[in-house]
């Protein structure tokens, strides 16, 4: 029987692609989901129920499982950041981390590795040439605080639990089925490149395929442990990123349309900060750990 990888939030944009990648690599995938009524299209993908509010789970999920990837949490950009939504974004992640911890500490299982998602929202804005490294303290804003609580939710998994823990701080994930890319498809279809503010802010990003490859790499490399930024090497302006997305997705652009910051603030509220802020984040640590990107720069992106 093949080894299984457990993915929480495996039904989401990242998890879905990761699932297909791991299946191709010969694993089975066990998806922990709040809703298990999903159709099983592949005999190597199984759904198991968990309830992060009640802190309960189906312990059959551990059968043949060697690693767990914790991606679950209420979507950061799905809704306006009201007080309630912000609470949901944080609490859903902390509850998922707490339940993963409970599972790993309580059960008899064969799990050797925990891959815990986090985000570069951890860091303060950075438009300087000095790239931010993993050892910086979290930014004192909503996302910085949220990422800190999220990472801390799996604090009890450490050397003494005999489980190797890898925290990956994802940059903006390029995947045409959701998130950042999908949100810009409508203007691109209208042949318009939306520029957030002046479009010069720096974007630290990662191709979905490299996320999949990096997670598999971290599962298989015993010396990889601790916190890593999951971002590609070339940090680019938002202006250049949107032009690249248009080219790769085959949309001809007629014009660029700057969307003033004040307008974004009115429409999106506090979330607009994330579109306007510069992120210059280093990937030196994961490169030093031996990981090689398939898509290190914009030029290398030929498909999404």
Ligand X SMILES: NC(=O)c1ccc[n+]([C@@H]2O[C@H](COP(=O)([O-])OP(=O)(O)OC[C@H]3O[C@@H](n4cnc5c(N)ncnc54)[C@H](OP(=O)(O)O)[C@@H]3O)[C@@H](O)[C@H]2O)c1
- Residues in the site for ligand X, rule: CB under 6 A? 9, 11-15, 33-35, 52, 71-76, 92, 96, 117, 119, 170, 172-173, 178-180
In the complex with ligand X, the residue whose CB is nearer, 91 or 234, is 91
Q: What's the min distance (Å) between Cβ of 126 and ligand X?
A: 16
In the complex with ligand X, the residue whose CB is nearer, 33 or 184, is 33
Q: What's the min distance (Å) between Cβ of 272 and ligand X?
A: 16
In the complex with ligand X, the residue whose CB is nearer, 143 or 246, is 143
Pairing verdict, β 45-51 and 56-57? antiparallel
In the complex with ligand X, the residue whose CB is nearer, 5 or 160, is 5
Question: Residue number with the shortest CB distance to ligand X?
Answer: 12
**Backbone phi and psi for residue 107, each to the nearest 5 degrees, phi listed first:** -90, 155
Q: What's the min distance (Å) between Cβ of 160 and ligand X?
A: 26
Cβ(154)–Cβ(165) below 8 Å: yes
In the complex with ligand X, the residue whose CB is nearer, 83 or 252, is 83
Q: What's the min distance (Å) between Cβ of 134 and ligand X?
A: 15
Q: What's the min distance (Å) between Cβ of 300 and ligand X?
A: 19
């Amino acid at each position: 029987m093949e080894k299984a990888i457990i993915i929480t939030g495996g039904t989401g944009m990242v998890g879905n692609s990761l699932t297909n990648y791991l299946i191709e690599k010969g694993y089975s995938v066990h998806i922990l989901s709040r809703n298990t009524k999903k159709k099983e299209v592949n005999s190597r993908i199984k759904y198991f129920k968990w309830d992060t509010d009640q802190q309960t789970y189906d312990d059959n999920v551990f059968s043949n499982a060697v690693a767990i990837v914790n991606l679950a949490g209420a979507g950061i950009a799905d809704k306006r950041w009201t007080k309630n939504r912000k609470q949901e974004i944080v609490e859903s992640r902390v509850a998922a981390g707490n339940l993963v911890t409970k599972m790993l500490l309580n059960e008899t299982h064969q799990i050797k590795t925990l891959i815990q998602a986090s985000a570069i929202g951890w860091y303060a804005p950075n438009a300087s040439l000095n790239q931010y490294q993993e050892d910086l303290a979290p930014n004192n804003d909503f996302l910085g605080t949220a990422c800190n609580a999220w990472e801390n939710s799996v604090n009890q998994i450490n050397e003494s639990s005999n489980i190797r823990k890898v925290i990956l701080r994802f940059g903006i994930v390029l995947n045409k089925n959701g998130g950042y890319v999908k949100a810009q498809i409508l203007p691109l279809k209208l042949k318009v490149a939306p520029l957030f503010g002046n479009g010069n802010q720096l974007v630290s990003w990662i191709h979905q395929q490299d996320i999949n490859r990096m997670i598999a790499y971290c599962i298989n490399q015993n010396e990889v442990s601790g916190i890593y930024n999951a971002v590609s090497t070339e940090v680019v302006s938002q202006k250049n990123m949107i032009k690249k997305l248009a080219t790769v997705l085959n949309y001809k652009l007629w014009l660029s349309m700057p969307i003033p910051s004040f307008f974004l603030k009115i429409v999106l509220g506090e979330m607009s900060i994330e579109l306007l802020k510069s992120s210059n984040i280093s990937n030196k640590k994961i490169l030093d750990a031996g990981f090689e990107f398939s898509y290190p720069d914009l030029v290398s992106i030929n498909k999404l």
